[in-house]
Amino acid sequence: MRNLWLCLLLAPLPAIAQEFALMPWPAQVEHRTGQLTFSAPLQPRVDGPASERTTRGLERWSMRLAEKAGPAAMGDSRNGMPVLIRYERVADLRTPDVDGSYALAIDSTGITVQAPTDIGVLHALATLYQCFRRDDAGWGFPSLRITDDPRFTWRGLLIDPCRHFMPLDVILRQLDGMELVKMNVLHLHLTEDQGFRIESKLLPELHEKGSNGQYLSQEDIRKIIREADLRGIRVVPEFDLPGHATSWFASHPELASAPGTYQPDTRYGVLDAVFDPTNEATYALLDRFLGEMAALFPDPYLHIGGDENNGKQWDANPAIQAFMKAHNLPDNHALQAYFNQRLYAILKKHGKRMMGWDEIGDVPAGSAPALPQDVTIQSWRGKEGLVSAAHAGRDAILSNGWYIDLCQSAEFHYLNDPLPPDSPLNAEERKHVLGGEATMWAELVDARNVDTRIWPRAAAVAERLWSPASVKDVPDMYRRMEAVSKQLDAIGLRHKSAQLELLRLMAGSDDVAGLKGLVDVMAPVQGYKRHQLAKHTTHTPLTGLADAAVPDPEGARRSTALIDAFITRRDAATAAALRPVLEATTNAPALPCCGTAADARKVLVNAALAIMDHLLKSTAPDAGACKTFQLALDRAQSPILEAEFADLPAFQRLFAAACTPAK
């Protein structure tokens, strides 16, 4: 990524890409001269069967356009903007491969939308909102013709309300963000070691003893399903089995593979608690519970988890070992395959299609019944699970590379493709790759800052799953993603406001300008490194610097672009643009929350400014100046308060440009 933002500064992009901020980028876009001036409200004429999705979608987007236009929207309602909408049928989301294509035409006379289904109409309205802009003539729309169709049918977002509880309002607002970027599957991970987060009316002890009082009621679930459906989004529930199951055993310890008293765990990681697959009472309880959930969730898929069972309790249980020997099950993979077969039969009885993490495909040949052909694999450990499933004729989706809780860059997620050019799958096997999901695991997020981890980077995943594979211009993706970030903020997502709320909490003051300047160039350390730097549990406050910092911060990209431009040009104009950007990151107050980071940043920036003066004068810095800069780099290199300077590589390049002897 060394020259990414330098290229963005120096190289012009295609005119149409520069002008618009659509995300996901449509399959085909044709720009024509002229503009349609906005007048509220929208005056739709609908040619198609009655659809509450269409009615509510028009109301929602019309209101949001009016909110942005402000006084321009206060016109005569009889002279509102004409919108002609034609579609053929109302989609049934129980059919997962719903046609979401649409055609959108905008000219000086009005707007026309054509789509096979009302889902396509919703996609067109989301694109229409993204086209809305203000210029010298006021608010309006450019003249465009767009023909659009998703590349993959499964474009999902997983939300984990178990490690940290996510109440109803948090989940509902994510639906608005998903609709804007055309994601169409909400995956709710509802049971985990740390919490049983859904109400059961048949077995109320499960949520009463397994949730610490924090769970989604069935009425909450019905509201989520309804609001999701109105936005063209399916809801797939996950109940993680047989491992990650501690919260189940708070009420039913007799079903665990080891005796003891259980309660929702406060620790994270791969824990030992696991269902006893040799106990018939296990299947009796799961039959009742999964039958209840099958009736609650209309989607054809039900996710059984199946990941990260370490098998320790199975290994230590003599009765389980005897059962394995009697049934010719040579190892724990085979025993879990047996368990999955029993679950498969239960789900089939209740009309559901099984889905699970890629471990459920780890069935040793000849040691257990083969995985049924209609089980769908979610590949998270690598792309191998997806490839092997498709080779075997099974459907699969990809999540590896899209774990957005790991705080990696939008570029990293954007360039991750379920079907890259070098995919080993043939044309027929590729049909089994349904798409993918971004996963928002909640060990290190809570209801306050979860939006800052999902958005706007999930939009990059959404584009990879929607747009043609050829759409992969990273600098332009970043340009459009920042525009979409503002749109997401305008419709009620909290990725911007939540950060300010945390900064005010950290500072104990409303004056957070200096602190924000620092945080805007810092990112949480990537991957699972935070767990190595400090012990985190469900009780750890998420109110520190790393919790306020966002992955892939825009401020760091800006400073990186300017530093690289200065290295190339070494002129006064670029230095004049760079200096205030760097200095704005050095004004954080000396607070306990961030004092070490603030001090390290001041030292780093001061050293860089001194080196810049040498480069401007074309004089070589002396050994002392280079040593000072190297010490500043070393000090800034280590993780600071579980965060890091996201623009540090650019400072390292500046040091190399000034202090590395010419060969």
Let me know: does 654 contact 563? Beta carbons within 8 Å. yes
DSSP codes of every residue in 178-202: HHHTT--EEEEEEEETTEE-B--SS
Q: Is 538 exposed, middle or buried (0-12, 13-18, 19+ CB in 10 A)?
A: buried
SS3 label, residue 433: strand
- Which residues are CB-neighbours of 602 under 8 A, at least 6 positions away? 586
Report the b/e string of 620-655 with b at 16+ CB within 10 A.
Answer: ebeeebbebbeebbebbeebbbbbbbbbbebbbbbb
Dihedral-angle region of residue 618 (phi above 0 means left; psi in -120 to 50 means alpha; beta otherwise): left
Close Cβ partners of 297 (under 8 Å, ≥ 6 residues apart): 221, 225, 235, 236, 237
308 is catalytic: yes
Residue 124, CA distances (Å) to 101, 115, 120 in order: 9, 9, 6
Classify 231 as helix, strand or coil: coil
- Say whether the peptide bond before residue 24 is cis (omega within 30 degrees of 0): yes
Orientation angle between helical segments 118-131 and 52-69, nearest 10 degrees: 10
Token duo for residue 422: 């070098």
User: Residue 552 — φ and ψ, nearest 5°?
Assistant: 55, 55
Which residues does 404 contact at the CB level (< 8 Å), separation at least 6?
A: 413, 438, 439, 440, 453, 454, 457, 458, 461, 551
What the block records as the tokens of 247 is 């919260």
Question: Residues, the chain, total?
Answer: 663
Q: Count each helix (H run) and each strand (E run) in the chain, helices first.
A: 26, 18
CA distance 581 to 282: 61
The H or E element spanning position 353 is strand 353-357
**Catalytic pick among 308, 501, 554, 583:** 308
Taking CA atoms, 567 is separated from 12, 564, 613, 629, 651, in Å, by: 20, 5, 12, 16, 10
Q: Are strands 396-398 and 138-148 parallel, antiparallel or unpaired?
A: unpaired
Q: Pseudo-torsion of CA 195, 311, 536, 587, nearest 10°? A: -110
Give the span between the Cα atoms of 172 and 491, in whole angstroms: 12
**Residue with the two structure tokens 């995300």:** 23
Q: Write the CB contacts of 140 (distance below 8 Å, at least 6 apart in sequence).
A: 35, 36, 37, 38, 132, 133, 134
> Is 356:335 a contact under the CB 8 Å cutoff?
no
The C-alpha atoms of residue 578 and residue 647 are separated, in whole angstroms, by 13
Query: What distance in Å separates the CA atoms of residue 204 and residue 206, rounded to the nearest whole number?
Result: 5
Distance between CA atoms of residues 1 and 18, nearest Å: 21
* Chain CA centroid to CA 558, Å: 23
* Residues carrying an active site annotation: 308
